[in-house]
Structure 1
Amino acid sequence: MRLTQLETFRTVARTLNFRRAAERLHYAQSSVTEQVQGLESDLGVRLFDRTGRKLRLTEAGTRLLTYADQLLSLAEEARVAVTGKQATPSGPLTLRAPETLCARRLPPLLTAFHARHPQVRLTVQPSGRADVRRGLQEAEADLGLFLGEVPRGLDVACEELAREPLCLVAPPGHALTGRPSVTARELASCAFISTQTGCAYRDLFESAWAEAGPPPPVVAEVGSVAAVARCVASGMGLAVLPEVAVVDELARGDVVSLRWDALPSAGVWMAWNAQRLSPAAAAFLSMARETRDDGERSRGTGITLTAKPS
């Protein structure tokens, strides 16, 4: 068994797709197939069940995957011990995150990361909560960002990187505008607009009412944060959204912010598979931690995902 064969086998085992494995490894698909077939020939067993429409690990393949992780990790540990140098981050790095974070929070961090690690090829995929989860489970994404709580039952390591302020927005001229603050009782009879059930923003809306009582009626479920903000601006109702998602609308006066003291902030969580964290993913996580720590020191409270160039 060669280490290159084991790395290729592990990538196919994680993606269960020869084409995606080839893309991640920057190999031709035929080369991936040949390496896996060569490994199967050396061991004298089938590692994948190729019958049917889906690729599956055989029992032997499942057993080998555990040893492949250990052998590749030990090989990297030996290289570092002998050379005294960590692996230079390179190759692909796929990150999935909510669209709002991709558009508003991540660009400075991505720019700083690219300046420090130009050999890493970044792929950032705006994704809903379910797609972020699926990407981590099926090894289609190296890192995933969740706004709010990390979904239960997801076997990953995770860490809170930031707090995202939430904002209660209303159309200009709403009956509650101009007040120093509003209460849950006053809001209970108001119509609300929200994203669909299962979306992180819907979860945040419902969690805001966890202690205030039953949530008010949702008169419309809209598929995007931008569309929710436009519906609010048109007078359809109120909404609870991340403040960063409506900063432009607030500045233009399309919507107004109502102060609701019970409204919490939302955690921004990074999640990853600790058993297959690539050098590129580890470097990105390290920079995100640096950014968080810098934010804590400079402000005392509150952390952001705004990175400074190295």
Structure 2
Amino acid sequence: MILVHIEKYKKVTDVAREMNMKQPSVTFHMKSLEEELGTVLFESKRGRMVLTEAGQALYPYALKITGLAAEAKKVVQDYTLLDKGTLRIGADCGTSTFPLPQLITAFTKRHTGIQLQVIVTPTQTIRTLLSDREIDVALYHAKVQQLSDEELTTTQSIFDDEIVVIFGANHRFANLQHLEPQLIAMEFFIQHAEGSFVKQFTHEWSNNNNIHLWERIQLDSPEAIKISVQAGHHITFFPKRSVQQELELGVLKCLPIPNDTTAMIKSVIAFQHDPTQHSLRNEFVEFARNYTL
């Protein structure tokens, strides 16, 4: 504010230099402020510009206004620089195990002032939430051939994966090199949540192979599914990269799904095509696309 700078520098030329303005412009703003308030705020004494009594009375308020303006500017800049803000992320059950934890951990290390709100729910629900703009970005699994049906301007692949049969280290499948559909049909099968990508995939596979799966359990939690399979009495289908840690530890094993040419899948990141969306969403999308998994 002009009044604050006049009190600090006492010369119009110095104020003009500080505010990167021409001297006549500073003088114009001084007179405009006096006209607006209907009183004299500035007076010249011995070659210096000082505040009148009215100007001195206004000065504390001018300081507060200037401070609030600077604070407001910083708040807006923090959002622009991604130091603040909230990002709403939705992930289906498969991607909530991988790659979501890796992505959000690395992203929040880079942008320490932001907040992430994460919703984990079946694939169909995630896509509905994105369509209804209740989340900013979605992560879910999709078949390779399904990507051509998506709007490519809003859906992008971030890594490849495949659906495999998983089972415990002591399961009888652990001694086999490959499986047949009939063998899978003879085992207790854990089914994934209603509306999930893996459940839809499983039903399509069983229908294509004329197999009736022995579905004794349905679980909504991917972690609960993995723990149950580790016990050794059940099998299920699962994205391979989502059980990579368990495979490396040897507590789970896997084999390719027999008689299937669609087991190769993609993990995709999707968002509404909206140029007015905040930069935090755009930054996360770009980060996910370039993150080395």
What is the TM-score when the length of structure 1 is the normalising length?
A: 0.55
- Structure 1 residue 199, shift from structure 2 partner: 1.6
Equivalent of 1:141 in 132, 135, 160 = 135
Q: Conserved in 1, the CA contact under 8 Å of 2:125 and 2:195?
A: no
- The structure-2 alpha-carbon separation of the partners of 1:277 and 1:205, relative to structure 1 and needing over 3 Å to count, comes to farther
- The structure-2 alpha-carbon separation of the partners of 1:146 and 1:243, relative to structure 1 and needing over 3 Å to count, comes to same
Q: Report the equivalent of 1:228.
A: 225
Q: Report the equivalent of 2:191.
A: 194
> In structure 2, what is the Cα distance between the partners aligned to 1:235 and 1:103?
21
Corresponding residue SS for 1:241: strand
- The structure-2 alpha-carbon separation of the partners of 1:111 and 1:252, relative to structure 1 and needing over 3 Å to count, comes to closer
Q: Conserved in 2, the CA contact under 8 Å of 1:225 and 1:245?
A: no
Q: Conserved in 2, the CA contact under 8 Å of 1:168 and 1:241?
A: yes
- The structure-2 alpha-carbon separation of the partners of 1:257 and 1:265, relative to structure 1 and needing over 3 Å to count, comes to same
Q: Conserved in 1, the CA contact under 8 Å of 2:163 and 2:257?
A: no
Between structures 1 and 2, the one with greater strand share:
2
Equivalent of 2:95 in 101, 117, 142 = 101
| 1:180 aligns to 2:190 (yes or no) | no
Corresponding residue SS for 1:165: strand
- The structure-2 alpha-carbon separation of the partners of 1:154 and 1:131, relative to structure 1 and needing over 3 Å to count, comes to farther
**What is the number of equivalent residue pairs in this alignment?**
207
Q: Report the equivalent of 2:115.
A: 121
Corresponding residue SS for 1:231: helix
- Structure 1 residue 141, shift from structure 2 partner: 0.8
Q: Report the equivalent of 1:205.
A: 202
> In structure 2, what is the Cα distance between the partners aligned to 1:259 and 1:164?
12
Q: Conserved in 2, the CA contact under 8 Å of 1:162 and 1:267?
A: yes
Q: Conserved in 2, the CA contact under 8 Å of 1:92 and 1:121?
A: yes
Query: What one-letter code is carried by the residue in structure 1 that aligns with 2:188?
Result: A
| 1:270 aligns to 2:253 (yes or no) | no
Unmatched 5+ stretches in structure 1: 1-86, 296-305
Q: Conserved in 2, the CA contact under 8 Å of 1:148 and 1:204?
A: no
- Structure 1 residue 224, shift from structure 2 partner: 1.7
Q: Conserved in 1, the CA contact under 8 Å of 2:155 and 2:271?
A: yes
> In structure 2, what is the Cα distance between the partners aligned to 1:196 and 1:282?
30
Corresponding residue SS for 1:113: helix
Residues 282-306 of structure 1 show CA distances to partners (whole Å, capped at 9, x for unaligned) of 1111122223xxx5xxxxxxxxxx2
| 1:238 aligns to 2:232 (yes or no) | no
> In structure 2, what is the Cα distance between the partners aligned to 1:197 and 1:125?
16
- C-alpha RMSD of the superposition: 3.3
| 1:160 aligns to 2:157 (yes or no) | yes
- The structure-2 alpha-carbon separation of the partners of 1:203 and 1:256, relative to structure 1 and needing over 3 Å to count, comes to same
Q: Conserved in 2, the CA contact under 8 Å of 1:180 and 1:259?
A: no
Q: Report the equivalent of 1:285.
A: 285
- Structure 1 residue 252, shift from structure 2 partner: 4.8
Q: Report the equivalent of 1:302.
A: none
Q: Report the equivalent of 1:84.
A: none
Unmatched 5+ stretches in structure 2: 1-79
Q: Report the equivalent of 1:67.
A: none
Query: Matched residues, percent identical?
Result: 18
> In structure 2, what is the Cα distance between the partners aligned to 1:256 and 1:102?
20
- Structure 1 residue 230, shift from structure 2 partner: 3.0
- Structure 1 residue 95, shift from structure 2 partner: 0.9
Query: What one-letter code is carried by the residue in structure 2 that aligns with 1:268?
Result: S
Query: What one-letter code is carried by the residue in structure 1 that aligns with 2:138?
Result: G
> In structure 2, what is the Cα distance between the partners aligned to 1:112 and 1:231?
30
Residues 59-95 of structure 1 show CA distances to partners (whole Å, capped at 9, x for unaligned) of xxxxxxxxxxxxxxxxxxxxxxxxxxxx544522111
- The structure-2 alpha-carbon separation of the partners of 1:189 and 1:252, relative to structure 1 and needing over 3 Å to count, comes to same
Q: Conserved in 2, the CA contact under 8 Å of 1:137 and 1:154?
A: no
- Structure 1 residue 103, shift from structure 2 partner: 4.2
- Structure 1 residue 132, shift from structure 2 partner: 1.6
Equivalent of 1:132 in 123, 126, 132 = 126
What is the TM-score when the length of structure 2 is the normalising length?
A: 0.58
> In structure 2, what is the Cα distance between the partners aligned to 1:194 and 1:92?
34
> In structure 2, what is the Cα distance between the partners aligned to 1:94 and 1:235?
37
Residues 21-64 of structure 1 show CA distances to partners (whole Å, capped at 9, x for unaligned) of xxxxxxxxxxxxxxxxxxxxxxxxxxxxxxxxxxxxxxxxxxxx
